[in-house]
Every structure is written in C-alpha cells, then in structure tokens.
Structure 1
C-alpha cells in the first residue's frame, strides 16, 4: 500500500499531514535568510601587513616576498597575487575549489607565523590573516553630511551617537565607517632645525615612546585604608606635546617646539569623501551570515526615523544604497508569476476536464507543496534568493504536472 492509497482510505490522516506540512513550512519560512544571491564564500585567504613610513620597494623586499615564499609551500594553492604599496602589503591566496576554507586559513596562519621572525622587528602589528566572506558586503550604506562640520567632527558624532544605536539591531554584524577621520596629534618637522641640533625624526619618536607613557605605580597600604597610585604621563594637548623634551644638548633641553610643531588633526589625510565640496562619511551596515536582509533594512528604516528626530540641524542623513530593493523586486515578480500560474492552471484544467472541483484542487496542492519546501530549505541551510525563487517558479509546473 503506497502513500496515495493510504491517504485515500484515511482522509483524516491526509488532512492532518497537510496541516503539519504547512505548519513546519511556515516555521522554516520565518527563520529563512533573505539575500540577493546564495552565500558562496570563495576559497580565498588574504594576508595584510601594515608598515607605516616604508615605501613600496621596502614593503615588497622585506615583507611581501618573505611571506610569499613561506605561503607558497601550502598544498592546494591555485594562485597567489600580491600588492605592495606605501605603508602596506596585501597578499591574496586563491585555493582550488573544494578546499576547506577553515583548514586553508589555518595553514596560511601557521606559515605566516613562522615567517614573522624574518620580518622587520619594528612592525606595529603582526600580519593579519582573514578569510573571504560573501556576507561582508554591506546591505545598506548611510551617508552623513554637514556644511558646518569637518570630517573629524562628523566621524566623532557618528561614533558617539549613531553606530551603537544601529549596531544593536538584530542580524547586524557591524557598522563600518568609510571615510572616517580620527583625531591624532600630527608632528611637523623643520628639516633645517633638526639638522642644526643634529637630530632625526627617530630621536623624536624615541622621546615620545619614553615620555608619553602611563605606568602602574602600585599602591599605598595603611592600617585603615589602601590607596591606588596612578601616574599621569600621557600627553594630551598640543602644548604638552610641543614642550616634550627630545634631547639634552650641552646642558640645554631641546624641546619639540625647537625642531617642529605638534598640531591636532586627522590621523590620515590621504583620502577624503566629499559631495559638492561638502565633507561626508558613509556608514556601511554589514549583515550576519544567513540573516534576513529585508528584516534588517526595515528595522534600520525604523531606527533612522527615531534618530532623525534627534539630529542636529546641520547634519543631513540619507540612505545612498539599499541592497534589498532588488531583492524586494525579485520577490514581487515571483509573487506575480505565481498568481498568474495559479490562474492559468485553474483555467487550463477546467477547459480540459470541465469540472470546477478538479480545477480548484491545484490551488490547494501547489501552496501546500511550496510552503512545505521552505522547511526543507531551512534544514539544508538555503536562503530565499533569486535562484531559489526561480526554482520555486519552476517547481510550480512540476507540481501541476504530477
């Protein structure tokens, strides 16, 4: 006895089974991720190294080449590309398709760790190894502009008032700020004065490392109380930096103001974002893998409505990119296609059988089958995207045919 015969003999069982399929399908649909295309992580590993102050030639000979030689011995590598630029090195390792990405990343980390001993000793940080992530592209980009504030002030406002409020939305992995400008103390040297005092920028750097510190000083313990001791050695203002003692020459202190000037400004001036000569920054919203992009976008829109009520008058905020617009269009097109398919199926079946009861049956069979498919998609880790929606449309014809 097959399932069809058993269902005909026991109609109650068939009804209950259909209800169970629909319930589980709706549960699966609720937890399904929604994005534009399937999340296919390419088998690529990236190695980034920062070496401020070094030119591209030094970066290539002292960092990029030693790392490439160490990485080249890993099995399964298809291609290695590298880029050496002012102050940074980037190496992309492409593995053969089917290579486990986590194992490949661990192999690269091991080789990079072994090669670190041959790199310059004054690197600010060791090389960073990261995996390619299909979910690292932003789902939305929000622009902030002001004709009364510079990029430093806009960045500070965004970090203090906006990033945390947006990042707490469920499904968001992080908020990256593009074009951000962080406050830093910039030191400008006068080469003639440095030469006159027989000093170099390295001497000033050593003085900063020596003087601009805050060390633990222990505590004072008494019979009744214990007091912690704190030393205040950090330099904060331009005046404090300009009074920094660089060196003692013939009994006289040479301070920073004698050989240059400390000015509070942006940490990086190599790039800037502007529109119509008005400074701006961009907040890129990065989703978590497997999340519902449409739910994230809807919640961000609600949160931005609340934020706009508290925005200063000089700051303009707008959404410049929304990936979910194309996703919504695709879903709406599929809905329209399914409606047309339902109508055509009913009409065609009626024209052939001349029986409305038989013609209406596909209106029950098709939704039950499609809704039940959502639970299977959830079990196998699929998402609702352009390809799965296309499969649903094609499956409609198969259901009717069967």
Structure 2
C-alpha cells in the first residue's frame, strides 16, 4: 500500500495530519521574527582609546600601532582599519562570517590586555570596545526635553537611568548620548587677581583637588564600642566651592571666590542638541551585527512606559526615528503581494477548470504548503523578511502544479467511467512517482544556491531553503490530501 492509497482509505488520519500542519504553521507564523533581510552582517568590533592632548600622529604611533599589532594575531579577521584624531583613536575590526562575535570579543579583550604595557601611561582609561559597526546607522533615535528643568538634570536621567538600562537589552551594542550636558562646577579664574596675589594656577588646582576629597578617616575603638570616623569632604555645588581656601597671603586666607567666578555649569559647553528648536538630550541606539532589528526595537519600546513613570512630569520623552517602521512597511507590502498572488492563482485555476470542487481541491495545496513552510522556517531559526516572503511568492505557482497534475489524472479516469474512489486509487497510483520526481527536481534546482559562499551566498541561503521546503511540502500535500479529497468530492458524470 503506497502513501496516496493509505490516505484515500483513511481520510480521518489524512485530515488530522493536515490539521497538524496547519496548526503548527499558524503558531510558527505568529512567533516568527520580522526583519528586512536575513542576518548576514559581518561580525564587527570597534575599539576606542583616548589620550587627551595627543596629536593624531602621536595617537597613531603610540596607541593605534601597539593595539593593531596585537589584534593582527587574532584568527578570523577579514579587515582592520583605524582612524586617529586629536586625542582619540578608533580601530574597526571586521571578522569573517563564520566567526562568532562573542568569541571574537573575548579575543579582542585579551589582545587589549596584552598591549596595555606598550600604551602610554598617561591614558585616563584603558581602551574599550563595542560589538558594533561604526558604519551602521542607528536603529532608534530618542530625545528628552524639558521646559523647566536644567539640561544637566535631564542629562542625568538620560545617562544614568535610560542609557544604562537600554544597553542591557539583548542585541543592543551601544547607546550614544548627543548633546550631553553632564553637570560640573566651572571655575573661571581672573589672571589679574592671580597676579596681584602671586598665586599660580597650579596652586588653585591643588587646593581644589585637596579640598574635594572623600577618603576614609579611621575608627575609634573603645572597650565596649567602636566608631567609624567619616569626614565627608565631597563638594557637589558651586556654592560649596566658593569659600574654599586656596592659600594664605599676609596671614589672611585667599578664598576661591576672590580669584574669579565659580559657576554651576556642564563639563562641555561647546556641544548641544536641538529638537524642533528646543534644546534636548538625544539618545541613539545601535544594534549588534546579525541581530533582528525589529525584535531589538520592540524590546526597547517595552521599557518606555516604565521610563515615563520614573521621569518628572516636566520631562518629555519622544521617539524621533524608528528604523523598524520602514522594515515593517516593506514586509507588509510583500505580504500583500503574496496574498494577491495566491488569489490570482486560484482565479486562473477556476477559469480553466470551470468546476468549483475541482478548483478548491488544488487550491488547498497553496495555503497548506505556505503555512507548513512557516513551521519549518521557525525550526530553522529564519525570519519573515523580504527575501523569504519573496521566495514564498515565487513558489506559489510551483506548489499548485503537483495538485493539478494529480487532479487531472484522477478526473480522466472518472470521465472514463470509473467511480471516484476507484479512480482516485488508480490515478494516484499511476501519477505518484511522477509527482515525486517533479517535486524533487524542483527542489534540487536550488541546491547549488545553498553552497554559495560569501555575503551573497549567506543572503540567498534562506531564500533557497524556503522555496525548496515549500515545494517539498506541496509534493507531500499532493500525494496525501489531494487524492483523498478527489475520492470524496469529485463527482462522476452521469
């Protein structure tokens, strides 16, 4: 007993199998991630190092060269480039597609540790790295504005509350703050007043550093109790700095406020960010190479209601740009094209067969094949992107061919005078091997695409697998459901 005969004689079993394919496919479709293209980004890591006051030539020779020498020993590097500017060096390392970015990050971290002894001792912080491609555009732009609060307070919310929390979202590589206004006390010294008192700037700097200390003092131990002595010398506001004693002249203290102005300001007052002619703090989010853009944006958007609850009422949080919206729109356009293609195929079948039951039977192969393909896509970790949906659109004409061939052969026996049940058994037995050959030959066409290398091969891999799976599922439906329905619903001519 072959497969078509088994399904014809056991319609309940065939119906349950098709229902299972339908159920699993619908569940998989609802859980498939949405993306613009398959994840084919090269694993890229960006390393940054700073040395204030150093020229670009010094940064290139003293910082970039030792780091590049260590990075060159890492396996799987495709390309490496560096850019040196005034006090800053950025090295971009691009790995091969087969390299895991997390393992590559560990190798980069080890190389930075090895090169630490060769770097200048005056660097304020060790080199840092991010799993991000600097050439990749951000996926999300946000802005914080407030008509009443100072920008330094708004910046505190942006950098300490939002940026750190968003950085913890899976798939986020880097959160950058533009127009940052970090609070700082700015001391503007008057050269004439310094000269009149014979005080140098280094004395002022030393006095400010020593007067702004928060160090452990010690403990007082008694016979029954012990006390921890804490001297809190941390100064946080300009008003606390003004009476600070810098030095003594003629037995009288010289205070900081006598030498110039002490202001509540920001660390860098030469940068700013505007949104609709209003000063703002802007945040941009960049994703890691190879992750799903839509999934990352959705996870970030789930945090926004919590952020708005924690922010003061006068602070407004708004999204300026969302890259996932254009991705969703393009995917929805392809979905509409797919639905229109299915409708046109069914219409063409009806125009040629001119029989409602004969039209419905092969038409059922189209949705079942596509929905069954969704289940396989979920198992393989694919996403609903433009290429996979285009593959399903192209294969709509393929998946209905097998069912039409099976239907035509069974109808030929019915028109010859055989009962529908006997015609289904005889017709499916004759054409079963032909349908299997057609299905395998169509699927085999895309095998060479699976072995293509490089970026193009990685990009078309999901496309080829999706078409091949849809064709194989359609062949299975044509050998099981189609003959069973023909044996029950195609009527003989009287």
Which TM-score bucket, shorter chain as reference?
Answer: 0.7 to 0.9
Secondary structure of 1:384 counterpart: coil
Q: Which residue of 2 aligns with 1:163?
A: 162
Secondary structure in 2 matching 1:69: helix
Equivalence for 1:324: 324
Counterpart Cα distance in 2 of 1:254 and 1:50? 36
Q: Taking structure 1 as reference, are residues 338 and 363 closer, same or farther at Cα in structure 2, changes over 3 Å only?
A: farther
CA contact (8 A) 1:138 1:285 kept: yes
Q: Structure 2 unaligned runs (5+)?
A: 403-494
Matches within 5 A, 1:149-298: 150-156=150-156, 163=162, 177-190=177-190, 197=198, 199-201=200-202, 205-219=205-219, 227-245=227-245, 256-257=256-257, 261-275=261-275, 277-284=277-284, 289-290=291-292, 292-293=294-295, 296=298
The superposition leaves residues 122-164 of structure 1 with CA deviations (integer Å, 9 ceiling, x where unpaired) of 3222111222369x8654433344555553344346568x839
Name the CA shift for 1:143/1:261 in 2 (closer, same or farther; >3 Å). same
Q: Higher helix share goes to which structure?
A: 2
Aligned CA distance change for structure 1 residues 123 and 302 (closer, same or farther; 3 Å): closer
Paired residue secondary structure (1:15): helix
Residues 338-368 of structure 1: CA distance to partner in whole angstroms, max 9, x if unpaired? 3322222222112222321231234432222
Give the aligned partner of residue 378 of structure 1.
378
In the alignment, which residue of structure 1 is the partner of 2:358? 358
Segment drifting more, 374-383 vs 315-324: 315-324
Determine helix, strand or coil for the equivalent of 2:89: strand
Shift in CA distance, 232/293, structure 1 to aligned 2, threshold 3 Å: same
Query: Given the superposition, is the C-alpha separation of residues 291 and 320 from structure 1 closer, same or farther in structure 2, using an over 3 Å criterion?
Result: closer
Separation (CA, whole Å) in 2 of partners of 1:143 and 1:246: 41
For the structure 1 residues 175 and 361, does the alpha-carbon distance in structure 2 shift closer, same or farther, using more than 3 Å as the test?
farther
Question: Residue 127 of structure 1 aligns with which residue?
Answer: 127
Quote the offset at 1:393 in angstroms: 1.6
Using the alignment, how far apart are the partners of 1:102 and 1:301 within structure 2? 25
1:348 and 2:343 correspond? no
Q: Is 2:404 aligned against 1:399?
A: no
Decide whether the 8 Å contact of 1:49 with 1:127 is kept in 2: yes
Equivalenced residue count is: 397
Measure, in 2, the Cα distance between the counterparts of 1:168 and 1:99: 23
Contact 2:59 2:87 in 1 (8 A): yes
Q: Which residue of 2 aligns with 1:21?
A: 21
Q: Which residue of 2 aligns with 1:71?
A: 71
Structure scoring higher RCO (CA < 8 A, sep ≥ 6) equals 1
Question: Residues 12 and 287 (structure 1 numbering): CA distance in 2 closer, same or farther, change over 3 Å?
Answer: farther
Report the Cα distance in structure 1 between the residues aligned to 2:356 and 2:322, rounded to whole angstroms: 45
Residues 21 and 368, structure 2, Cα contact 8 Å, conserved in 1:
yes
Give the Cα separation in 2 of the matches to 1:300 and 1:138.
18
SS in 2 for 1:236: coil
Q: Relative to structure 1, is the Cα distance of residues 352 and 260 closer, same or farther in structure 2, using a 3 angstrom cutoff? A: same
Give the whole-Å Cα distance in 1 for the aligned partners of 2:338 and 2:186: 62
Report how far residue 385 of structure 1 moved. 1.9
Contact 1:182–1:266, Cα closer than 8 Å, also in 2? yes
Please say which structure displays the higher CA radius of gyration. Answer: 2
Change (3 A) 1:127 1:204: farther
- 1-side partners of 2:110 and 2:66: how far apart? 14
| TM-aligned CA deviation for residue 32 of structure 1 | 2.2
Aligned in 2, Cα 1:277/1:210: closer, same or farther, shift over 3 Å? same
CA distance in 2, matches of 1:178, 1:113: 30
CA RMSD of aligned residues (A): 4.1
Report SS of the residue matched to 2:213. coil
